[in-house]
Structure 1
């Protein structure tokens, strides 16, 4: 959190600072960024979690608890606070989906926040998350570095994952999928960013100013 504050972002804790393991960077609209620490000691819980919620959720826990930094995952947020219909619709396409994992966290001000998740296999794919209940986006957010929102998420997809990816999500205004040797987030572009960010402080995530659009010449 300290590094991203130094980079000029307004960062908010997900829970009370003395025990929080996640923090968020919000924008007025669209996607947001979440940073979290998932202890590697929790990796053995992969199989108990899989037994209760399905292999997709167990694999996801193991992925989050793996050592390292950088982009760890991509969450696809729905408009609903209940994932039942979304999860059932995706499973009906043949996509292996976990059962719904329901969880809560307590904000620094004591408000209880509820949310749900369902994870496909393989774990390299994005997972699905409900809207927060109650909504959490701040009424007003300003970042000293000028960032106003995410304009594009460049997402790599290995050829063997493309069919599952297409079942999971259709056209999206922010996602820019492309063939890649690795499935996962590659780069995120930010509108309004005053200049390049110091890579020594970004902890392995590629956050760059929005690239200018090159207009095709008119005939």
Structure 2
């Protein structure tokens, strides 16, 4: 049973406005859901319900050293989330993290309980909220593994804001996520860790990589390498392509983004 699909993939950038312009040049429609002058993220919505998030992990204009010290003081409150933020801060630009959504939204809490009972080590659930432009309060929660390089889990947004046709239409034809490729240094250990998160998901082993098949036909590929990194994201496009195409790396802010036809 596929409990999860890839909800969104985070792409770190140090200059959000510049990244928005670059991804627009790549053919994506980029949406701000808050005032651009105050935004720390911008979103690329896809027709399969997932999205890419361009984000700057520094919510305050403070030197990195001082920001690390502040979050070290907060570590006892939410150690898993603080460790994840420090991972963001220490990472290079590019593919940085990803979230899992429950395929059946109403099962989100039950799914988190079940994978925790299966042995996945999760920190405290973190409740989040923000005020929408129309004044309504939107809420959701995060369940964050203690290991910051494993995906985190999210509930549905309440209330959920439907995307417009314009927001999910891209001149490069992007429709949704095909697969996420993750390089790992110890394949066997990472396979076992992912089995706890992807409880019940179909997986196959092919030499030096392992593929997990999730909901919405999303796949996560673990590939043996020297060090851990989110290596590539492969998107499906409606444009006719003879071969898989890599988008211009000089515009993707360190993210390896591949496109293939439906």
Q: TM-score range by the shorter chain?
A: 0.7 to 0.9
For CA contacts below 8 A with separation 6 or more, give which structure has more relative contact order: 2
TM superposition outliers: structure 1 runs of 4+ over 6 Å: none
The C-alpha deviation readout for 1:112-134, integer Å capped at 9, x for no partner, is 43221111121111111112222
Alignment of 1:201 onto 2:246: no
Following the alignment from structure 2 to structure 1, what is the Cα–Cα distance between the partners of residues 85 and 114? 23
Contact kept in structure 2, 1:82 and 1:130, CA below 8 Å: no
Q: Is the 8 A contact 1:17 1:108 kept in 2?
A: no
Structure 1 residue 66, shift from structure 2 partner: 2.3
Residue 184 of structure 1, CA deviation: 4.1
User: For this pair of structures, how many residues does the alignment match?
Assistant: 211
Flag the 1:136–1:48 CA change in 2: closer, same or farther, 3 A: farther
- Is the 1:98–1:120 contact (alpha carbons within 8 Å) kept by the matching residues of 2? yes
* Equivalent of 2:194 in 165, 168, 173: 165
Any conservation in 1 of the 2:238–2:261 contact (CA below 8 Å)?
no
Q: Which moved more, 1:190-199 or 1:126-135?
A: 190-199
Distance 1:133 1:193 in 2: 31
Cα distance between partner residues in 2 of 1:125 and 1:42:
23
Q: What corresponds to 1:189 in structure 2?
A: 234
Give ranges in structure 1 of 5+ residues lacking alignment: 213-219
Establish whether residue 86 from structure 1 lines up as the match of residue 105 from structure 2.
Answer: no
For 2:17, the equivalent position in structure 1 comes to none
The alpha-carbon deviation at position 81 of structure 1 amounts to: 6.8
Deviates most, 130-139 or 8-17: 130-139
State which of 129, 137, 154 in structure 1 corresponds to 2:181. 154
- 8 Å Cα contact 1:43-1:66 kept in structure 2: no
Which aligned pairs between 1:17-32 and structure 2 lie closer than 5 A? Answer: 17-32=36-51
> In structure 2, how many angstroms separate the alpha carbons of the residues matched to 1:66 and 1:19?
23
Tell me the CA shift for residue 92 of structure 1: 1.2
Q: Contact 1:24–1:34 at 8 Å: present in 2 too?
A: yes
Where is the strand percentage greater, Structure 1 or Structure 2? 2
SS in 2 for 1:165: helix
For the residues of structure 1 that align with 2:238 and 2:97, how far apart are their CA atoms?
A: 23
Task: Give distance in 1, aligned partners of 2:86 and 2:38.
Answer: 22
Deviations 1:178-205 (A, max 9, x none): 2323444221112226554221110000
1:12: which partner in 2?
31
Distance in 1 of aligned mates of 2:96 and 2:106: 24
CA distance in 2, matches of 1:183, 1:211: 28
